[in-house]
Amino acid sequence: MLAMSHAGYVAAGWGISLTALAAYAIRTVRRGRALARQVPPEDRQWT
Amino acid sequence: MLRDAALIAGKDLRVELRSQVTTQQVAPFAILVLILFGVALDPDRGILSRASSGLFWVAVLFCALLAIQRAFTIEAADGGRDALRLSGLDPAGIFLGKAGAIAVQLVALEVVLAIGVVVMYGVEVTGVPLLVATCGAATAGLAAAGTLYGVLAAGLRVRETLLPILLLPVLAPVLIGATKSFEAALGGVAADGWPWCGLLVAFALAYLAIGTLAFGTLMEET
Amino acid sequence: MTAPYAAGSTSSGTTRILGWLSLAGLALLLAYALVWSPADRAQRDAVRLMYVHVPSAIVAFTACAITTLAAAMWLRRRSEGWWVLGGASAEVGLLFTAMTLLTGSIWGRPTWGTYWDWDPRITSTSLLFVMLVGYLALRRIDNETGDAAQRGSRGAIVGLLLFPNVVVVHYSVDWWRSLHQTATITRLDPTIEGTMLFTLVLGIAVFGLVFAWLLVHRFRVGWLEERIDHSGLDEALVERRAEAGVGAAVGDGGTV
């Protein structure tokens, strides 16, 4: 796979994209957990 | 509705006549922008005259931002906005009136800028009908969209910084259309420019319609 | 202060399914994009970036459409869910717009030789980026000033105009740039077929799942924020009344 042409660019593009997605996902879920503790269960009836 | 519009437009223009903000501050700013472009770009290699259409309209956009901010600042003082809301005037009329006053000031600024561009960038004026039509349509669009987004930003303390990023992307089609139209007129092939003028007219009509419809809702909530 | 309740999160059965499907999909997509699909004739391996760039762009524009739709529904029904959806979609959309610009730019370097080219799509996508930032900034200000009854229309009007503006800007820029007959390599070989086409479609589907997952979570986060905002208001009222010595607290269970 490293014999790929433009390997650096492909890696950078995919790497940054996946990292950004993961970071945003983790941040959102964490925020959700923190906020959920401050709200009574009847106001978050999706589980 | 039109009577209310005339009332508001008249009021705004009278405020301007008395305070002279457009003439004493925004017009000099317009000239300043032209000078800065001249300083930043190489005046000797003809870049200025080739780019003059675009530079003209960018300068108009910057001046429009100031004019729009100003139009709503005068209401903010002394609880003018509440007075407007309670006055019983037709919101659509208020919208058209404010947009009209802004348009008049923009036309005046465009005249100043036009003289500046001809003198400072060495532009030869051809295709005058197209130039005039473009200015009319573009100004209408700028004033309409500007009034709409202006009232959105108006009640907020951060309006000076928020209005530009809200409004300028929306005005990109006006910049594109007006610049292409001017280039066609000044470059001699006016026929190429009229379709762009059409885009400007469509834009203006769309925003005049949206503003007329939406202004009522906005005045209630802000 | 607000009393903590039982631990919870924004997850649910639905999001768990979506989440696992997304992860599996991403793994499959990576396999196809990076290994199993062939390199392009002209672009060679740079084409592999298209499998993240094009799906990102599609998601970004879809998110805009959702924001506009949510704004329209809010203006008609004034229910909080639509307000929250508009903001959630815009924020997730911003992420994907940034990804679109970034991957497009990185793709441009080996293929066009430059990171930036005033190609119509990169220009209008960058304008979209600014529009989303402005919309989110306006919503944040709107949230901080005034109470729930007052705010909303501002953001809703801007949100409503978001997608139409995106469309108008896109076509204006397209028209503008089409006059420049520079030999632009089309972003995707029009004769794309076989494995490459499959990978692209897979990419769009997988990114759609990822978007859905993120949107649901972000929506719920926004929903929780609204609930906390409201309960803060209720508490303030309760405290005010207590201070004024007016009878017993009227609050529901759960407030101090």
User: SS3 string of B16-73?
Assistant: HHHHCHHHHHHHHHHHHHHHHHHHHCCHHHCHHHHHHHHHHHHHHHHHHHHHHHHHHH
- Type of residue at C101: L
Judged by CB atoms closer than 8 Å, whether chains meet at B173 and C169 is answered as yes
Q: How many residues appear in chain B?
A: 222
Judged by a CB distance cut-off of 8 A, whether residue A15 touches chain C is no
Has residue C239 got a pLDDT over 80?
no
Chain A residues closer than 8 Å to C35 by CB: 1
Q: Taking CB atoms and an 8 Å cutoff, what residues of chain B touch C131?
A: 166, 169-170
Backbone angles phi, psi at C44, to 5 degrees: 55, -135
Please report all neighbours of C, defined by 3+ CB atom pairs within 8 A: A, B
SS3 for B168?
helix
Residues B27 and B112: beta-carbon distance below 8 Å: yes
| Cα gap C184→C182, rounded to integer Å | 6
- Residue C250, pLDDT above cutoff 60: no
For C61, other C-beta atoms within 10 Å of its C-beta total 20
Secondary structure element (H or E) that encloses residue B8, with its range: helix B2-19
Q: Which of C52, C109, C221 sits opposite A31 (nearest CB)?
A: C221
> When comparing pLDDT for C172 and B65, which is higher?
B65
Touch between chain B and chain A (3+ CB pairs, < 8 Å)? no
Nearest CA-CA distance, residue B141 and chain C, Å: 13
Candidates B70, B83, B60; CA nearest to B15 is: B70
Taking 90 as the threshold, does the pLDDT of residue A16 lie above it? yes
Nearest chain C Cα to B198, which residue? Answer: C172
C153/B contact by beta carbon, under 8 A: yes
Chain B residue numbers touching C128 (CB-CB < 8 A): 169
pLDDT tens across C163-192, in order? 988 888 888 888 877 755 443 444 455 566
Average pLDDT of B55-77? 88
CA atoms within 13 A on the CB side of C188: 16
Which residues of A are less than 8 Å from C211 in CB distance? Answer: none
Angle at C35 between CA C33 and CA C37, to 5 degrees: 60
- Measured in whole angstroms, how far is the alpha carbon of residue B2 from the centre of its chain? 21
Interface A–C counts its CB contacts (< 8 A) at 133
Q: Find the closest chain C residue to B210 by CA distance.
A: C161
Integer Rg of chain A from CA: 18
Are B218 and C134 an interchain contact pair (Cβ–Cβ within 8 Å)? no
Query: What is the dihedral sign for C-alpha B86, B88, B94, B95?
Result: positive
Q: Decide: B48 and B38 in contact? Cβ < 8 Å.
A: yes
- Is residue C141 within 8 A of residue B165, CB to CB? The reply is no
A contacts of C107 (beta carbons < 8 Å): 9, 13
Residue type, C255: T
Question: Rounded to two decimals, what is the model's pTM?
Answer: 0.82
Q: How far apart are CA C131 and CA C90, in angstroms?
A: 10
Measured distance CA(B192)–CA(B181) in Å, rounded: 7
| Sequence-separated (6 or more) residues with CB below 8 Å from residue C16 | none
Instruction: Please report the pLDDT score of residue C119 as a whole number.
Output: 75
Say whether A9 and C49 touch across the interface (CB within 8 A).
yes
The pair of structure tokens assigned to B31 is 């000239």
CA distance B194 to B185: 9
Torsion B189-B195-B197-B199 (CA) sign: negative
Mutation for A interface: C48, C97, C115, C217, most A CBs within 10 A:
C48
Element (H, E) at B159: helix B159-187
The pLDDT value given to residue C191: 62
DSSP-assigned beta bridge partners for residue C44: C40
Q: Does C121 touch chain B (CB under 8 A)?
A: no
Beta-bridge partner residues of C40: C44
Question: What's the CA gap between B167 and B155, in Å, rounded?
Answer: 16
- Please determine, for residue B82, whether its predicted confidence score (pLDDT) is greater than 90: no
> In the prediction, which pLDDT does C78 show?
85
- What integer is the mean pLDDT of B173-179? 93
Question: Which of the four pLDDT bands, split at 50, 70 and 90, describes residue C253?
Answer: very low
Judged by CB atoms closer than 8 Å, whether chains meet at C158 and B172 is answered as: no
Average of per-residue pLDDT values in chain C: 82
Return the pLDDT at C96: 96
C153-178 helix and B128-154 helix, angle to the nearest 10 degrees = 150
Contact B57, B175 (CB under 8 A): yes
Distance, in Å, from the CA atom of B204 to the CA atom of B142, rounded to the nearest integer, reads: 8
